[in-house]
Amino acid sequence: MSIPTLESLHAIGALQQPTYPDRGALDDAVARLRTMPPLVFAGECDDLTDKLAAVTRGEAFLLQGGDCAETFAEVTADNVRNKLRVLLQMAVVMTYAGSVPVVKLGRLAGQYAKPRSSDEETRVVDGQEVTLPAYRGDVVNGFEFTPEARIPDPKRLLDAYNASAATLNLVRAFVTGGYADLRQVHTWNTDFVKTSPAGQRYEQLAGEIDKALSFMKAIGADPEELRRVDFHSSHEALLMEYEHAMTRVDSRTEQPYNVSGHFVWIGERTRQLDGAHVEYFRHIRNPIGVKLGPTATADDALALAAQLNPENTPGRLTFITRFGADKVREGLPGLVEKVTAEGVQVAWVCDPMHGNTFTSSTGYKTRRFDDVVGEVQGFFDVHRSLGTWPGGILVEMTGDDVTECIGGGEELDEHGLAHRYESVVDPRLNRVQSLELAFQVADMLRAVSP
Q: Which residues bind ligand PEP (CB under 6 A)?
A: 68, 115, 236, 267-269, 291, 322, 354, 426
Q: Which stretch binds Co ion (CB under 5 A): 66-74, 98-106, 161-169, 244-252?
A: 66-74
Is the CB of 104 or the CB of 322 nearer to ligand PEP? 322
Distances (CA, A) of 241 to 22, 32, 148, 379: 14, 11, 21, 35
- Whose CA is closest to 63, among 444, 443, 440, 438? 438
Residue with smallest beta-carbon separation from ligand PEP: 267
Is the CB of 269 or the CB of 329 nearer to ligand PEP? 269
CA 194 to chain centre: 26
Q: Is 21 left (phi over 0), alpha (psi -120 to 50) or beta?
A: alpha
DSSP state of 407: B
133 binds, among Co ion, ligand PEP, none (CB under 5 to 8 A by kind): none
Is the CB of 153 or the CB of 426 nearer to Co ion? 426
Rounded least distance, CB 226 to ligand PEP, Å: 33
Rounded least distance, CB 74 to ligand PEP, Å: 16
115 binds, among ligand PEP, Co ion, none (CB under 5 to 8 A by kind): ligand PEP
172 binds, among Co ion, ligand PEP, none (CB under 5 to 8 A by kind): none
Distance of alpha carbon 408 from alpha carbon 178, whole angstroms = 31
Distance of alpha carbon 60 from alpha carbon 102, whole angstroms = 6
**DSSP H or E run through 448:** helix 431-448
* Residue 70 makes contact with Co ion by CB under 5 A: no
268 binds, among ligand PEP, Co ion, none (CB under 5 to 8 A by kind): ligand PEP
* Residue 404 makes contact with Co ion by CB under 5 A: no
Query: Please, what sign has the CA dihedral across residues 354, 355, 361, 366?
Result: negative
Among 14, 45, 48, 68, binds Co ion (CB under 5 A): 68
102 binds, among ligand PEP, Co ion, none (CB under 5 to 8 A by kind): none
Is the CB of 272 or the CB of 313 nearer to ligand PEP? 272
Cβ within 8 Å of residue 187, ≥6 positions away? none
104 binds, among ligand PEP, Co ion, none (CB under 5 to 8 A by kind): none
Rounded least distance, CB 292 to ligand PEP, Å: 8
Is the CB of 206 or the CB of 325 nearer to Co ion? 325
Is the CB of 396 or the CB of 436 nearer to ligand PEP? 396
Residues 280, 281, 282: CA angle, nearest 5 degrees: 90
- Which residues face 349 on adjacent strands? 320, 392
Rounded least distance, CB 65 to ligand PEP, Å: 11
Q: Which stretch binds Co ion (CB under 5 A): 60-68, 82-90, 180-188, 404-412?
A: 60-68
Looking only at residues 238 through 297 of this chain, which bind Co ion when binding is defined by CB under 5 A?
Answer: none
Rounded least distance, CB 223 to ligand PEP, Å: 35
Burial-class residue 148 by CB neighbours within 10 Å (0-12, 13-18, 19+): exposed
The alpha-helical segments, DSSP class H, found in 13-76 are: 23-35, 42-56
Is the CB of 322 or the CB of 368 nearer to ligand PEP? 322
Burial-class residue 35 by CB neighbours within 10 Å (0-12, 13-18, 19+): exposed
Cβ within 8 Å of residue 352, ≥6 positions away? 322, 325, 371, 372, 373, 374, 375, 376, 379, 393, 395
Is the CB of 35 or the CB of 117 nearer to ligand PEP? 117
Distance of alpha carbon 363 from alpha carbon 349, whole angstroms = 30
Q: Could you give the string, one character per residue 410-439, with x where binding to Co ion holds by CB under 5 A and - elsewhere?
A: ----------------x-------------
One-letter amino acid for residue 59 of the chain: E
Rounded least distance, CB 281 to Co ion, Å: 19
Interface residue list for Co ion (CB under 5 A): 68, 426
